Amino acid sequence: MDSARPDQSIDLTMDRIEREAKRAAQSKVEQARFGGAQEGRVGPAAEAEALAARVASLVQCHRVAYRPRDWAVVAARPRINIVRTHEREAEARQAFHAYRPGWLAQLFGADRDKRRLLAAKVAEAASEDEQIYRKAWREAQVHNVEIDYACKLAELDMRTINESLAEHTRLAEVYSAVERFRFVSPAKGHLQIMIEALDLSAMPAEEAERLPQGRAMFRPAPLGRRHQMQGANVCAVALRFAVEMLGFLPLDAVEVVVHGDLRDPQTGLFERHPILQLTLTHTQAASAPFERADPMALAAQLGARVNWTIQGGFAPIDLIEPPGQAL
């Protein structure tokens, strides 16, 4: 262990303790809900609707349209530099100095009124020049700031990316479908989306059947069904993060790596392992039916690496280096 970084091991230990506590608490909730008989319970139909909505939020969160923004074009735009010209004021001053009153105007004093009028036009032209300059400067600032922003995205500036998620993506809708996530850039032009998946214990533990009079029968969900929900959830969140970040960032592809807690059959302890790896390109995203496809089938179609069975759920996978990239 690196003695210079003791907090890292402490954080990992505390995180593991917290996850174990969550599993224990969830197990108690399930036991209290159904009792020892496990025969089911009757509840309100509204609770069944909430359960269905939660399942949908877990396994259908990939159902969004692919909307790419071409920030690379924005980053390549020329910057605008505004120069103050005073063109209108200069024209008005020229007219003022070029004025030569006739003898009749001088005789009746009309030249004084004319000079005052020309002087007022000089002041008016100077004010107009200033307003036009300020408007052009504001427009140039917006233009140049957008270029700077696009360049930061192209450079994968993580602070800029994280601060922009709410404005340019809808990922906030799926925060409750993952434990946590972060972005890393292991090489220039390469973005990895690191996701920690929800535990199997976080999947709904019951299924509902509608009854008359606004009631519903709730029964424990079979283990295979919970494995299916977790499998669909992991694939759905991987697809959602991939398609949103690919549409947002000026990259040719993004990579998603999902980690999950798996029980060691030898020790009975949970250890964190990679369980899914997916690289998504623009060509794939443009033709993939995100808005209607089954998440596990679509992930497989797009080449996701995953080891899952309905009987055992997820098993660890070995991460591979994408072609031409250094992890």
Q: What is the pLDDT of residue 26?
A: 67
User: Look-up: residue for tokens 């197990």?
Assistant: 27
Question: From the CB of residue 210, how many other CB atoms can be counted at a distance below 10 Å?
Answer: 12
Length of the chain: 327
Mean pLDDT (whole number) for 87-102? 74
Q: What is the pTM of this model?
A: 0.76
Residue 283 in this model has a pLDDT that exceeds 90: yes
- Stronger pLDDT, 53 or 265, i.e. the higher one: 53
pLDDT digits (tens, 9 = 90+) for 105-129: 556 666 777 777 877 888 888 888 8
Band (97; pLDDT cuts 50, 70, 90)? confident
Q: What is the pLDDT of residue 27?
A: 67
CA angle 259, 262, 264 (to 5 degrees): 140
Q: What is the pLDDT of residue 7?
A: 44
- Stronger pLDDT, 114 or 37, i.e. the higher one: 114
CA angle 210, 50, 312 (to 5 degrees): 85
Mean pLDDT (whole number) for 307-313? 94
| Across 2-6, 36-40, 139-143, 163-167, least confident range | 2-6
**Three-class SS of the chain:** CCCCCHHHHHHHHHHHHHHHHHHHHHHHHHHHHHCCCCCCEEEEHHHHHHHHHHHHHHHCCCCCCCCCCCHHHHHCCCCCCCCCCCHHHHHHHHHHHHCCCCHHHHHHCHHHHHHHHHHHHHHHHHHHHHHHHHHHHHHHHHHHHHHHHHHHHHCCCHHHHHHHHHHHCCHHHHHHHCCEEEEEEEECCEEEEEEECCCHHHCCCEEEEEECCCEEEEEECCHHHHHHHHHHHHHHHHHHHHHHHHHHCCCCEEEEEEEEEEECCCCCCEEEEEEEEEEEEHHHHHHCCCCCCCHHHHHHHCCCEECEECCCEECCCCCCCCCCCCC
Report yes or no: 272 and 259 within 8 Å, Cβ to Cβ: yes
Band (84; pLDDT cuts 50, 70, 90)? confident
Question: What phi and psi, each to the nearest 5 degrees, are found at residue 322?
Answer: -60, 145
Percentage of residues in the chain having pLDDT higher than 90:
45
CA angle 177, 178, 184 (to 5 degrees): 140
Percentage of residues in the chain having pLDDT higher than 70:
83
Q: What is the pLDDT of residue 198?
A: 94
Report yes or no: 304 and 238 within 8 Å, Cβ to Cβ: yes
Q: What is the pLDDT of residue 69?
A: 87
Band (132; pLDDT cuts 50, 70, 90)? confident
Q: What is the pLDDT of residue 140?
A: 87
| Across 29-33, 153-157, 258-262, least confident range | 29-33
Mean pLDDT (whole number) for 95-104? 70
As a whole number, the mean pLDDT across the chain is: 84
Residue 1 in this model has a pLDDT that exceeds 80: no
Q: What is the pLDDT of residue 12?
A: 56
Residue 325 in this model has a pLDDT that exceeds 50: no
Residue 216 in this model has a pLDDT that exceeds 60: yes
Residue 281 in this model has a pLDDT that exceeds 90: yes
Band (318; pLDDT cuts 50, 70, 90)? very high
Q: Cα separation of 204 and 32, whole Å?
A: 15
Residue 3 in this model has a pLDDT that exceeds 50: no
pLDDT digits (tens, 9 = 90+) for 181-203: 999 998 888 999 999 999 998 99
Edge-to-edge strand ranges of the sheet holding 41-44: 41-44, 215-220, 206-211
CA angle 184, 306, 253 (to 5 degrees): 40
Band (40; pLDDT cuts 50, 70, 90)? confident
